[in-house]
Amino acid sequence: MQSCSGQYGWRMTTPVLEARDLARTYGRGATRFDALKGVSLRVDQGESLAIVGKSGSGKSTLMHLLALLDKPSAGQILLDGTDAATLSARQVNRTRNSTFGFVFQQFFLTPKTSVLDNVVLPLKIAGVTGAERKRRGMAALDALGLADKAKNDANDLSGGQKQRVVIARALVGEPSVIFADEPTGNLDTNTGQVVEDMLFGLQRERGITLVVVTHDEELAERCDRRVNVRDGLIVAGGGDGGAVDGVVDGRASHGRHSA
């Protein structure tokens, strides 16, 4: 994509993801809750972005909207410049399955099913043939050091191994964007460090865009950029600690951090 210098001094390209005046409201009347209140944010290809905030701040809601897991009450979500609202339900499902990968704190593995079958589930949904599913699934497990666990039930694995299976499942569709929601929240410090190293290593090696939702300051510091969310808004500075981020498109004022 051709780039040019923007008014804020960085080089502008079409972002892989963009939110424009994004709002999400739940309930009505006395039960109304404004989870997001007009958030604008861009995410560029190949970067790692931390969305940081306390519980209830709106950070997970923002990720769910960016990942097309939920629909906004107002505003736009653009994918490579295309308004997501113009996509059919089938196109949205295809995007979630092939363009995005997901790493969740809760794992969401089928416990009595083999590790390999858990990993290749997105390929099965996409209609990929059995032989190709196995080939790609084993390649993903091998990349995460779990090829020898392919036939084990997911329930037999440790917490760290389960999270690596989740990462393998996220990678098997060869996504361009991985969303990670508190990816180390259920892990001890050492295991969490291993999982972090894997995620950032894959981001660097494969050029994957990594969007991480976290309240962990150390994890956020490893990302190229961060935005702080508080009370449904991207805030400048704020009470969550960390650097100032612009409200217009979430660009950070601090430099890159090495992973």
Mean pLDDT of 50-60: 92
Distance from C-alpha of 114 to C-alpha of 180, rounded to nearest angstrom: 23
**Better-predicted residue by pLDDT, 66 or 2:** 66
pTM (2 decimals)?
0.81
Task: Summarize pLDDT for 97-119 with one digit per residue, the tens.
Answer: 889 999 887 888 998 999 999 99
pLDDT of 238 strictly over 90? no
pLDDT of 208 strictly over 80? yes
Task: Summarize pLDDT for 2-29 with one digit per residue, the tens.
Answer: 344 344 444 457 799 999 999 999 999 9
Give residue 252's pLDDT.
36
Task: Give the number of other CB atoms < 10 A from CB of residue 78.
Answer: 18
Distance from C-alpha of 139 to C-alpha of 220, rounded to nearest angstrom: 29
Averaged confidence pLDDT in the chain? 84
Give residue 241's pLDDT.
35
Mean pLDDT of 213-218: 89
Distance from C-alpha of 8 to C-alpha of 12, rounded to nearest angstrom: 10
Mean pLDDT of 203-209: 91
Name the residue with tokens 């089938």. 90
Per-residue confidence at 185, pLDDT binned at 50, 70, 90? confident
Give residue 14's pLDDT.
77
Task: Summarize pLDDT for 143-180 with one digit per residue, the tens.
Answer: 888 999 999 999 999 988 998 899 999 989 889 999 99
pLDDT of 58 strictly over 50? yes
Give residue 236's pLDDT.
62
**CA-to-CA separations, 110 to 102, 113, 117, 147, 168, in angstroms, rounded:** 15, 6, 9, 18, 15
Percent of the chain with pLDDT over 90: 60
Per-residue confidence at 55, pLDDT binned at 50, 70, 90? confident
